[in-house]
Structure 1
Amino acid sequence: MRVAFVGKGGSGKTTLSALFSRHLARSGAPVLAIDGDINQHLAEALGGSEVSAPPLGAHVPEIKTLLRGDNPRIPSPEAMIKTTPPGRGSRLLRPLGDDELHTRHVGRAGGVPLMVTGEFDESDLGVACYHSKLGAVELYLGHLLDGPGEYVVVDMTAGADAFASGLFTRFDLTFLVAEPTRKGVSVYRQYRDHAERFGIRIAVVGNKVTGEDDLLFLKEQVGDDLLTHLVHSPWVRAAEQGRAGSGPDALASLEPHNRHALAILREAVDSEVRDWNRLHRHAVEFHLRNVHAWADARTGGDLAAQVDPDYVPGSGADA
């Protein structure tokens, strides 16, 4: 199941992404964390350091070559764009599978498998859009055959920037992390309004709650979308200062209320039923949007023809 964490910058979405990933890993569940934020801090939040595996964003041509496979609708890797959907002949991947992409790009941080999109480098400054790097994540999720009991946790870009691409439609459930402040819930309203248009389910996770007044404020502002909340955490502060230990087992010292909140998040994810038709329908819709907006003109091809009619990944023939 695919899970995204979004929220205002500073809300704690990276911290929650890391805590949830560590919670899953501690239970023995197969989990892959992906740092899709412009500020690459997930490895540190997981209790590790920099990931030794190369970033996805620096190897997009090779990733396209792999995922293209023998798909006759895609004449070359250069003809692929970030939204190109899979079709018959495409290379589909299993989470943490024995393939070139996972072998090359998965490192570990705090005992959790992790892939990163990569940071801006000097050649990107002033001329590149960060979302071009996120294209590798969008392609990866579009060609992923994950199932129940398998978890992919993505720390997304801050604010409403996630809507700058179709990546926001690639998840089974999106957790919006909100502090109990007016600024904290403003991103919730933006995300809610955009998500409703596409039938994307979001659940709000309150963070840094210090008392009943904070909790009441969140309930008044987000209503039934509030799934659970985490209280102010000395353990998290100690972890941020390098004093809480690393690895999934270190989570045993997290405050009981916060450990329970993580269990509620997992219950919510596990209760979701994968809708392959919806995922693929959104993939095709955003691919055609990009085709008409810029991709045909840039590539000189008819990229709408990359859509394989009546094909839906995960339908059984791909498994």
Structure 2
Amino acid sequence: MRIALAGKGGAGKTTLSATLSLLAARGGRKVVAVDADANPNLAAALGAAPAAGRLQPVPVSLVSRRRGGTGLLEPVNTVLDRYAAAGPDGIRLLGMGGPAHADEGCLCAAHAVVSSVLEDLGAPGRLVVVDMEASPEHLSRGTVRHVDAVLLVAEPYYRSLETVRRMSALVAELTVPYVAVVANKVRSTGDREAVEEFCARHGLAFAGAVPWSDAVGAADRARVAVADWPGTGDVLTAVQDVAASLGRITGRRLLG
């Protein structure tokens, strides 16, 4: 099962990606977490050692153009063994790679690498969680065309919902089987209802809501995973509920 999380910048994609990855790994799932953002933060959100945050990207030389896109020249398990960093609870962490210098051009090759890796990561029993960047470029380039589901993360206000609306239209043009919306940083019943109404109006599945918590910010400042920080039980329960809801939508088990 391959899940990509998308949404407006600051909506909470990285926090939810890390929390979902940790809960799944602690439930016995084999998890690969892909930081598909040129400004990587997923390792820190997982509470990984600083060394894991300096991910060695899969080199472009391992990707070849083929009919219909690009593909890996080596088995994906070999690529994982060589380039994935060891994260907490057995999570294997892959990075997209980003610019080393200013004015060095686009990240076209990095997107091709992510697309190729995702295509081959679809092994049974493996959960792949992809933390996307805020830009819709992953969608316009079709970088995540091979995932099984896109989870659109929305804060309960207009600009965030507008971003989800635009992204959902792009996802609909890809071959992604499922798309759903999760409301994040919800402070009231009205917040949740606003996102549910938005989903109903635009024909989108609603996967649940995650409450606002000051403890999430405290965990981030301490470089500790939300799953390991005191006072985040309501957030963890909500993420488990979202995973269960997405599992019902896709017919695939996410957590152990």
CA distance in structure 2 between the partners assigned to 1:213 and 1:142 by the alignment:
39
1:239 corresponding residue in structure 2: 219
CA distance in structure 1 between the partners assigned to 2:55 and 2:42 by the alignment:
15
1:107 corresponding residue in structure 2: 85
Question: 3-state SS of the aligned residue for 1:114?
Answer: strand
1:56 corresponding residue in structure 2: 57
CA distance in structure 2 between the partners assigned to 1:131 and 1:15 by the alignment:
26
Deviation for aligned residue 1:246:
4.9
Deviation for aligned residue 1:52:
6.6
Structure 2 counterpart of 1:144, one-letter code:
L
2:106 corresponding residue in structure 1: 129
Question: 3-state SS of the aligned residue for 2:147?
Answer: coil
CA distance in structure 2 between the partners assigned to 1:137 and 1:16 by the alignment:
20
2:11 corresponding residue in structure 1: 11
Contact 2:226 2:232 in 1 (8 A): no
Deviation for aligned residue 1:143:
2.7
List aligned pairs for 1:82-97, cutoff 5 A. Answer: 83-85=69-71, 91-93=74-76, 97=77
Deviation for aligned residue 1:2:
0.3
CA distance in structure 1 between the partners assigned to 2:26 and 2:164 by the alignment:
30
Deviation for aligned residue 1:91:
4.8
Contact 1:56 1:137 in 2 (8 A): no
1:226 corresponding residue in structure 2: 206
Question: 3-state SS of the aligned residue for 2:240?
Answer: helix
State which of 179, 189, 204 in structure 2 corresponds to 1:202. Answer: 179
TM-score scaled to structure 2, two decimals? 0.84
List aligned pairs for 1:171-182, cutoff 5 A. Answer: 171-182=147-158
Is 1:157 aligned to residue 139 of structure 2?
no
Structure 2 counterpart of 1:115, one-letter code:
L
2:232 corresponding residue in structure 1: 254
Structure 2 unpaired stretches of 5+? none
CA distance in structure 2 between the partners assigned to 1:206 and 1:161 by the alignment:
22
Deviation for aligned residue 1:247:
9.3
CA distance in structure 2 between the partners assigned to 1:80 and 1:60 by the alignment:
14
CA distance in structure 2 between the partners assigned to 1:203 and 1:36 by the alignment:
19
Deviations 1:1-39 (A, max 9, x none): 100000001111111111111111111211010100121
Paired residues in the alignment total 245
Is 1:265 aligned to residue 237 of structure 2?
no
Question: 3-state SS of the aligned residue for 2:172?
Answer: helix
Deviation for aligned residue 1:263:
1.9
CA distance in structure 1 between the partners assigned to 2:13 and 2:225 by the alignment:
19
Is 1:45 aligned to residue 45 of structure 2?
yes
Which portions of structure 1, spanning 4 or more consecutive aligned residues, are displaced by more than 4 angstroms? Answer: 79-82, 245-248
CA distance in structure 2 between the partners assigned to 1:202 and 1:15 by the alignment:
19
1:187 corresponding residue in structure 2: 163
Contact 2:15 2:226 in 1 (8 A): no
Greater helix fraction, Structure 1 or Structure 2: 1
Deviations 1:138-181 (A, max 9, x none): 1112233411x310100012142222312232111111000011
Deviation for aligned residue 1:51:
1.8
List aligned pairs for 1:294-305, cutoff 5 A. Answer: none
2:95 corresponding residue in structure 1: 116
Structure 1 unpaired stretches of 5+? 65-76, 275-319
CA distance in structure 1 between the partners assigned to 2:117 and 2:20 by the alignment:
21
Question: 3-state SS of the aligned residue for 1:168?
Answer: coil
Identity level (%): 27
CA distance in structure 1 between the partners assigned to 2:141 and 2:230 by the alignment:
37
CA distance in structure 2 between the partners assigned to 1:198 and 1:134 by the alignment:
15
Question: 3-state SS of the aligned residue for 2:10?
Answer: coil
Contact 2:60 2:109 in 1 (8 A): no
Structure 1 counterpart of 2:126, one-letter code:
E
Q: CA RMSD in A?
A: 2.7
Contact 2:150 2:179 in 1 (8 A): yes
Question: 3-state SS of the aligned residue for 1:197?
Answer: coil
Contact 1:178 1:184 in 2 (8 A): yes
1:73 corresponding residue in structure 2: none
